[in-house]
Amino acid sequence: MTSLAASEVREKPGLGRILRDTKYVFWREMLLPLRDPFSLIFSLIQPLVFLGLFGPLLGAAVGAPAFGGQSTLQWFLPGVVVMIALFGTSMTGSNLQYELMTGSYERILATPLSRSSLMIGRALKEWAPLVVQGLLIALVCIPFGFVFYPLHVLIGLVILGIFGIGLGALSYALALVSQNKEWIFWGVQQTLLFPLMILSGIMLPIEAGPAWMKTASLFNPLTYLVNAERELFAGSFGTDTLLGLLAASVTAAVGLVVGVKAINRNIK
């Protein structure tokens, strides 16, 4: 950042300054995947493997009635897209831990950037890769029978991006709280990741589970997100879409609040 830009940042208090600083932080974070796009493309291998190998087994084991009349691919693909968001954004705090170990994070704190923008800009960075990855997965599946509804898929990816912002912020907050204790970060992340994924019905229809699992899924925000994505990817709007948007928005709001508090507490 030039000295002129730095002086301009100091002159803009309040919301204007936060927005301006967020732009700087967002662009800094986006330079990493832009300089190394192969890592973004490589991360698509796992979801494609799930679609290609687990999808056919799922259809044979569960049967078409469990998918509400949809094809296995039409039902399973939205869950895989949500899985990309869940795995990708929940692990973003590891990048911050690396910066903490190398000292680059302390150098960022020495800049005149507002402290809130450091978290908001990082969290917003999670939105763009999620949308690109989800769109690529959907396009790849078209030749295999996936019916592509452009507007519905776009709305679904935007909702997914909102959720990714919140989850990314929570991951960064966890990294700050577990500073110098990396095992705590990975222990909490792994402990929460798989129960949330299973209880949301990403892999298998939650309707096939026992009553206690169905009840537990109602308290899982990921359940509403998965239902919304399936409704949208099937080419329709409805209650599930609104509930998914609400769950994603609440996750984003909570994540940003917790993240900003964590970064301010860490500075003190």
Distance from C-alpha of 247 to C-alpha of 141, rounded to nearest angstrom = 27
Residue of higher predicted confidence among 71 and 235? 235
What is the average pLDDT value for the chain, to the nearest integer?
79
User: What DSSP string runs through 75-103?
Assistant: HHHHHHHHHHHHHHHHTTHHHHHHHHHHT
pLDDT over 70 (residue 267): no
**Contact between residue 213 and residue 190 where contact means Cβ atoms under 8 Å apart:** no
pLDDT of residue 247: 94
pLDDT in tens, 211-232: 888 899 999 999 999 999 999 9
Count the neighbouring beta carbons within 10 Å of the beta carbon of residue 58.
22
Segment 23-56, tens digit of pLDDT: 888 888 787 777 776 766 677 777 777 777 777 7
> pLDDT tens across 185-207, in order?
888 888 888 888 888 888 878 87
Residue ranges per domain, the chain?
Answer: 13-53+67-267
pLDDT of residue 9: 41
Residue among 248, 216, 217 nearest 89 (CA): 248
Give pLDDT tens digits for 104-125: 777 777 777 777 777 777 777 7
Is the pLDDT at 10 greater than 90? The verdict is no
Tell me if 83 sits within 8 A of 202, measured CB to CB. Answer: yes
In contact, 241 and 228? CB cutoff 8 Å: yes
